[in-house]
Amino acid sequence: MSEFNNDSYIKDQIRKQYGAPKTSTVKVTLKEKLYDIDMEKLNNLLFEKDIEAIQLAVKNKEVTYGEIMRYYWNRCVQFKSYNSILTLNPKCVEKADDMTYSDSHHMIYGLPVVLKDNIGTKDLPTTAGAAILKSYACDEDSEIVKKIESKGGIILGKSNLSEWANFMSTESSNGYSAVGGQTKNPYGEFDVGGSSAGSAVVAALNLCPLTVGSETAGSIIYPSSQNCVVGLKPTLGLVSQDRIIPISKTHDTAGPMTKHVKDAYYLLSAMTSEILEPLKNQLKGKKMGIINNEGIKPLYREEDEVLLGKVLEDISQVAEISYCEIEEKAFETQVYDILKYEFKFGIKDYFESFGKEGLTLNEIIAFNETNMSDFAPYNHEIILQAATEDFDEMLLEDQIIKNRTVTQEALDELFETYDCLVTLSNYLTSVYAPAGYPAVTVPSGFRNNGEPIGVTFIGKRGEDVKLMNIALGYETLTKHRQPPEVRL
């Protein structure tokens, strides 16, 4: 493991996000009007409710899909100061007004969905938060969007993110983009996390019940943990990468970010072509291992070992849980050059194929350099490295295989004993990400200062639902999710 100091990193992030947050002349601000509806009545029906409860309210004629859409639209506009929403879909309310309830519909039918703004859409901009892409619209909707809409889900809008999905600069501020500004954590002056900051905050603030993030290495898990929401990083390949602005084809995946495990399950089932087995509460009797390597502890912040002890205490009420160690070689992966190499050619191929021919990293660099203080205030050294460094393709392909092999073997060895592995937040990202294995984080309480923290469960490849069964059991047992106490 590296000598990375997590406490220093967090302090630096808080300084950037709240001390003197950057802004840009290209930043968008929601200017949409509020709908004249009974927000108090709708608040009683919708606030903090899971989508099963929302659909039941529609079935019982307590609320319509149109009212639901107007409610979340209004909340997005009312809470725009958190910079979590970039764009609202002007067609969403009209679509919702045409929806009627049926028991045969998918659970997301008629309900709003917010997408991270690196997920391609034809009728809304897809910016990755970058100034050069402020007006870019994809040639057609991504496969994810098509699947969501085929199940009746309605795209409410797009969420802010760490620019270029946090693959722009090592000096960047989590949740900052030129187009969206600085996303803020609604629980206080805490790191909002990245890169799917906007999606996490949208879910946390009840601006939309269903949001989609994306992850290369921790970009769903970490902001979910920081904002007291559920985030699932699926098994690599379960969800299509089509028309998602890429970093790495060997790591990237979209995934659901919601307030409740059930909602994440339903959204996942709409995002994939695979038929998922039913979700069940299956924590009882499971055997679980908390990763306790000395090599991982330099990542720990103050209180983390106490927090893990509380997780053990909670789970031990119904399941068998103990500390364990993973093979140290699993931490010895080398991924940075792989990410830079795949980013370089992935960006070129993406824009050649999907409606902005000729956009390369060199053109992005040249554009930024016309006004660095505005377009790239935290610099763009990762983009610069990716564009200019020479890469040995064969060596990198070998490293990809080595990374995958060493991490999968280490995880699979533990899975011979344990049903799932346990850690906090994104502390095991360097292992599960190159392995391509699923991970889900669930709210597990708060630090002494009120900062949210999530417990993360890692499962076997392809066993996403079994992992979510455990997550549902933990959520039901502990009920740690609490909405932020915010005022307009």
Note the pLDDT of residue 93.
98
The Cα angle at residue 486 between residues 194 and 221, in degrees rounded to 5:
25
Alpha-carbon dihedral 41, 44, 47, 48, rounded to 10 degrees = -170
Distances (CA, A) of 29 to 79, 136, 182, 195, 217: 11, 17, 12, 20, 29
- Per-residue pLDDT band for 293 (boundaries 50, 70, 90) equals very high
Alpha-carbon dihedral 479, 217, 326, 307, rounded to 10 degrees = -30
Note the pLDDT of residue 17.
98
Question: Over the stretch 430-457, which tens digit does the pLDDT of each residue have?
Answer: 999 999 999 999 999 999 999 999 999 9
Distances (CA, A) of 238 to 216, 271, 273, 373, 437: 14, 9, 8, 39, 10
Task: Report yes or no: 308 and 290 within 8 Å, Cβ to Cβ.
Answer: yes
Q: Check whether 1 has a pLDDT greater than 70.
A: no
Task: Report yes or no: 365 and 384 within 8 Å, Cβ to Cβ.
Answer: yes
Section 211-223 average pLDDT = 98
Q: Where are the domains of the chain?
A: 6-478
Q: Check whether 2 has a pLDDT greater than 70.
A: no
Question: Six-digit token pair at 363?
Answer: 């053109």
Question: Could you tell me the pTM of the whole model?
Answer: 0.98
Helices 381-388 and 361-368 pack at an angle, to 10 degrees, of: 140
Question: Over the stretch 164-203, which tens digit does the pLDDT of each residue have?
Answer: 999 999 999 999 999 999 999 999 999 999 999 999 999 9
- Distance in angstroms (rounded) separating the CA atoms of residues 457 and 341: 30
Note the pLDDT of residue 295.
84
CATH for 6-478 is 3.90.1300.10
Question: Over the stretch 371-425, which tens digit does the pLDDT of each residue have?
Answer: 999 999 999 999 999 999 999 999 999 999 999 999 999 999 999 999 999 999 9
Residue 52 CB partners (closer than 8 Å, separation 6+): 107, 262
Note the pLDDT of residue 488.
66
Cα atoms in the 13 Å half-sphere on the side-chain side of 260? 16
Question: Six-digit token pair at 424?
Answer: 């906090």
- Per-residue pLDDT band for 71 (boundaries 50, 70, 90) equals very high
Question: Nearest-CA neighbor of 140 among 165, 158, 123, 118?
Answer: 123
Question: Six-digit token pair at 201?
Answer: 């905050």
Section 5-10 average pLDDT = 90
Question: Over the stretch 12-27, which tens digit does the pLDDT of each residue have?
Answer: 999 999 999 999 999 9
Averaged pLDDT score across all residues of the chain: 97
The Cα angle at residue 349 between residues 347 and 355, in degrees rounded to 5:
90
Question: Six-digit token pair at 144?
Answer: 């994810």
Instruction: Identify any residues that bridge with 157 across adjacent strands, giving them in sequence order.
Output: 88, 114
- Distance in angstroms (rounded) separating the CA atoms of residues 326 and 430: 12
* Lowest-pLDDT range of 45-54, 123-132, 233-242, 356-365: 356-365
